[in-house]
Chain A
Amino acid sequence: DVQLEESGGGLVQPGGSLRLSCAVSGFTFSSYWMTWVRQAPGKGLEWVAIMKHDASEEYYVDSVKGRFTISRDNAKNSLYLQMNSLGAEDTAVYYCARNYLHYYYGLDVWGQGTTVSVSS
């Protein structure tokens, strides 16, 4: 079965840092672009970041540029999101997702999400 499993969420104080992980199984991770998407409580989906299959390209939503870093370890079948200088606006469920066929086609496999709460 194709599976994505996020971890690393939790409660963090404003200005703090967290590192999210996404463990992948059931497909050739090194062949796919991968994406992070978040959803604030009661709100819609927001695309956060994307990384090319070989880690040679990465892109971010404007609101996290300079604070968040996406990375991957193809040997460990894992995707990461390093989040620094966190603010209340970053409180959300964070999903990792696989890009379908081409990187612009959509996200066909999603994890169950990990919750990040930023509060003092």
Chain B
Amino acid sequence: DAKTTQPNSMESNEEEPVHLPCNHSTISGTDYIHWYRQLPSQGPEYVIHGLTSNVNNRMASLAIAEDRKSSTLILHRATLRDAAVYYCILRDGNFGNEKLTFGTGTRLTIIP
């Protein structure tokens, strides 16, 4: 499985935008970029995913570099409830490659 690299931790002020980076220099053409987050004492929660184009949903935006070797998860206005570990995951789009391979993620702290 292709690997991703994320900072171990980040801090952000409440009500400000947060940009969480992810490097994936060995990404293949069929790899989707997925983001999940895990709040304390909960199971992971899907945030967003994309292949080549930038994506937006109600939770966040995903900006994908033109060469796809990096991406950024954008939380437009952080709240205290966004404090979590954020995982950037590459998932092969070929049928049968079902599993998610988690790294250690980025622990996001929100400062009130």
Task: Check if A and B associate.
Answer: no
